[in-house]
Every structure is written in structure tokens, then in C-alpha cells.
Structure 1
Amino acid sequence: MLRLFLRVPKIPRILLLATLITMVWKAISVNGEVDPARFEEAIAAFEQQDAEQMPPQDAILFVGSSSIRKWDTAKWFPDRTVINRGFGGSHMSDLIHFTKRVVLPYRPRTIVLYEGDNDLAGGKSPGRVHADYVQFVRMIRTELPETKIVFIAIKPSLSRWKLIAKIREANQLIKEVTDDDPLLDYVDVDGPMLNDQGMPRPELFADDGLHLNDTGYELWTKLVEEKLAD
């Protein structure tokens, strides 16, 4: 019997490794992973502001995604010393990446945090949002053990209503963490933002159905102020 043997060229190990890395990266990307480097310009702008005039320590730091960035916290909290370091489109993982640059330098007595909205919209699971929240808390506990962290629940919105089940799952996981720690607090915005039919109240939102208008921020200010007064 005639047998034919085909010589298969060996694939260089480095090529195999590169292929494996690419496959892993693609798998991670499918799960909503994002590159924090996309915010480098925004973070550098904050650092430039700090270089020109460093905010006072022991203030209330508002940090998170565009719901924080668009919130005129100086206007809505006129009797409090506040710092706003929101960067729109961010995930909890982005905040973790930049914590040393946009949180720790201010040594705030309270952190008001809003993240998770974009995480879920980008494909991350409620469990991942919860895990990233816990990681952020641990970072703060290590460097600022007396700082209080107030988490604003991921909001129900008109444009992302299809995510409401995941939103509520993530919120519940985080709330369970806050229930066990006196330095962690949770602001429930879900119920107050719904109408009698259990749907998001349109009067709270900007035209995009996602971000808040002044009426929405008035509600959030009231709910957050209750926690700051504790």
C-alpha cells in the first residue's frame, strides 16, 4: 500500500501564543470588556485642573459615568463642599483603573458613586458589576478606611428598559453588600423613578430617554441628601 506523508510545517510558538491571546481578547470583548485608555484625555484634564487649584480634602466626591458628569453638583449641593469627577460612558472597571488619579488624591470623607449603567448596556453581567463594585470598595478601604461610599442604584430608564431585570439583579447584589457595612450606603432610585404603572417617569429624563433633566436631578439630590445627612 502506498502511503503519502505530508510534511506539516511547525507553527512558531510565538505565533501560537499570539493567536491564543487574540482569541482570549475577543472572548473578553464579547463580554463587554472595554479599554480604560479611551478616557486618558478626560483624566488628564482633571489632573490639570488639580494642578491649577487642588480641591480641598475631606470633601464629598461625586464620581462615575455621565449621570454624574452632567450633574451640576455645586448647584444642587450649595451648602456642601463637593468635587465632581464624572467621566461619561465609563464602566466600574474604568473607575477602578483610574482610582489612584481621580479618587485617592482628594481623600474625600464621602464618595457618591454611580456606575453600572454602561456596564450592563455594554454586555457585562450583573455579577461582574457586583464584583467590580466590591473591588472598588476594597481599594478604598485599603487607602481610605474611614471614607463612606454611597452607591446610587443603577437607574431604570426609558432607553434601557429592556435591561431592567439585569439592572435590578445588579442593584440587589450591591445592596446586599452595603447592608453589612456601616460605611457603605445605597440610594434606591428605582422606585422613586417609576410611575403608577411601574414604568420610568418621562418627566425625569432628557430627550434621549437615558440621561436626567433638572427634574430628575432634583429627585436624585433629595435622595442623596438624605444619605449625606445620616
Structure 2
Amino acid sequence: MRALLRRAALAAGLLLLPTAVLAYADLLPDSLDLLGIDLHETPDLPHVARQIAIGAPLRIVAFGSSSTEGIGASSPANAYPARLQADLRGRLRGLDVTVVNRGIGGEHVDDMLARLDRDVIRAEPQLVIWQTGSNDPLRGVSLAHFREATLAAVRRIQEAGIDVVLMEPQWCPTLEATPGSHRFRDAVREIGAELDVPVIRRADLMQDWVRDGKVTRKQLFAADGLHMADGGYALLAKAAAESILRDAGPVQVAEAVAE
């Protein structure tokens, strides 16, 4: 069984390398029914999948506003990017994982686009997690402009050879009281579907955590009613790690072999 797992891991790794695909495509089976894996299915995060499959360093840029910067957390170590780095290092033992925090509080889509090249593309990550859509309704950005600018930016990131995961606005009292804020959340989901980009549905997750008793509202929110607190950021990091590994696809086999 271990030999079969090793062969499966090797096959999965080869499929994630373009040159290997050309060299070995005719030798690989269409699926491994025993493991439930379709080896010819492209993962949603192919660049992340490649790094994990070959054991190469994985660099992630967490891009966004105050939820990424970590406003509301008791320390930078409790912001979600730092927690995500620790979580992924624990799950992918032996892999060098770095999560770079590029969050600046208060920014809307145009502010973030102004630093996209400097803070994101020049960092040469394999993945960008872009948290957006929270400040735009608060600062009067039109929904049409938000949508157009976000679509263009995601395409620019992808054209640079970087995987993208979008993170929608939070569920919180301040946004609930802001007319039309839910439309920005929905726009993030629609952009993800249109560009085939995974979306971390933070609003739904937050409500589920409270309903399921994983965290109380007091543990979830900071005192300002807008930002998350340590308890919320910890759960968000865990959800982001699970999303990344799920969307990286067949590389889970390689991880299982390493264990």
C-alpha cells in the first residue's frame, strides 16, 4: 500500500510540472480509483500544488485592508496571516511556508490597486489571498467600479503566474448597518465564479462559528463592531488553510506519503 501511495504521489507531482506532463502524459492512468483521484483534473491552485508536490518553498501574500493587517487582534502574531503561516507549516511538515502580510487598514479597491505591483506582484508569491470589499461601501465606492477594478486586478495577478483566492467582507454589526454592503460581498462571490477563483466566504463562516458554538460573538468581534478579535482570526486562518489545501488538489496524496 505504501508503494502504491508513493507511485501516486510521484504521478501527481509529475502532472503539476509542465515539462513532465509532456514527457509522461501517455504513461499515466486517467484515475486512481482506490484513492479517489482524477490525475488529469487541474487543481484550482496549480502553482501552490506544484510547490507542495516538489517540496519547494511556498510563498503567499495576504493582501487587503484592516482584516489582513490585523486590526482588532491583540498582537501581529494573532492576525490571520501569521496564524495561517503557522497552520500551514503544521499541516505541511517540512515545507518552507511564508505568509507575507500586505494589509493596510482603511483601504478600498483603488488604494489597493495603487500598490498591487509593489506589494504583491514584485514579491513573486505562488498565491495571493485578496481580502476586499469591506471599506468600499463605507467609503462610497460604486459597486460597478468595484467590480470592474477587481476583475481587472485579479486578471493581472493571474497573468503574472500567481494563483488567487478571494476573501469576501466580514459579517459584522457595522457592515450590516451600511446600506448596500451585502452587494459587495455578492460581487466578490460573482467575480470568483466568473474567473474560476476560490472565494473564502467569510460572512457565512463567521455566522456558522457562532451558531455552532465554536466562538461567542464577544470572542469573534473587536470592541469597535467592525473588526475581528483573536478568536475570529484564529478560526479564519484555519478556514483559509483548509481552503488552500483543498483547492491545491491531488497534492494531498504527497502529503499523506510524507506522513
TM-score by length of structure 2 reads 0.59
Report the AA paired with residue 187 of structure 1.
I
Aligned to 1:158: 173
Q: Using a 3 Å threshold, how does the CA distance of structure 1 residues 226 and 58 change in structure 2: closer, same or farther?
A: closer
> Is there any run of 5+ residues in structure 2 with no aligned partner, and where?
1-55, 71-78, 90-96, 248-259
Q: List structure 1 runs of 4+ shifted beyond 3 angstroms.
A: none
Aligned to 1:204: 220
Aligned to 1:100: 117
Q: Distance in 1 between matches of 2:68 and 2:170?
A: 12
- 1:76 CA drift (Å): 3.8
Aligned to 1:63: 63
* SS at 1:82 equivalent: strand
Aligned to 1:185: 198
* SS at 2:232 equivalent: helix
* SS at 2:152 equivalent: helix
Aligned to 2:237: 221
Q: Is the 8 A contact 1:57 1:106 kept in 2?
A: no
Q: Distance in 2 between matches of 1:93 and 1:57?
A: 31
Aligned to 1:134: 151
Match for residue 173 of structure 1 among 172, 187, 193: 187
Q: Distance in 1 between matches of 2:66 and 2:57?
A: 23
- 1:173 CA drift (Å): 2.2
* SS at 2:148 equivalent: helix
Which is bigger in relative contact order (C-alpha 8 A, separation at least 6)? Answer: 2
Report the AA paired with residue 73 of structure 1.
P
- 1:122 CA drift (Å): 0.7
Task: Give the alignment's Cα RMSD to 1 decimal.
Answer: 2.2
When Rg is computed on C-alpha atoms for both structures, the one with the higher figure is: 1
Per-residue CA deviations over 1:54-96 (Å, capped at 9, x if unaligned) read: xx98511001101101125234422132111111111111111
Report the AA paired with residue 176 of structure 1.
E
| Equivalent residues, number | 168
Q: Distance in 2 between matches of 1:180 and 1:134?
A: 9
Report the AA paired with residue 169 of structure 1.
R
| Identity value in percent | 26
- 1:216 CA drift (Å): 0.6
* SS at 1:155 equivalent: coil
Q: Distance in 2 between matches of 1:97 and 1:132?
A: 11
Q: Distance in 1 between matches of 2:158 and 2:98?
A: 22
Match for residue 82 of structure 2 among 66, 74, 78: 74
> Is there any run of 5+ residues in structure 1 with no aligned partner, and where?
1-55
Greater helix share, structure number? 2
* SS at 2:174 equivalent: coil
TM-score by length of structure 1 reads 0.66
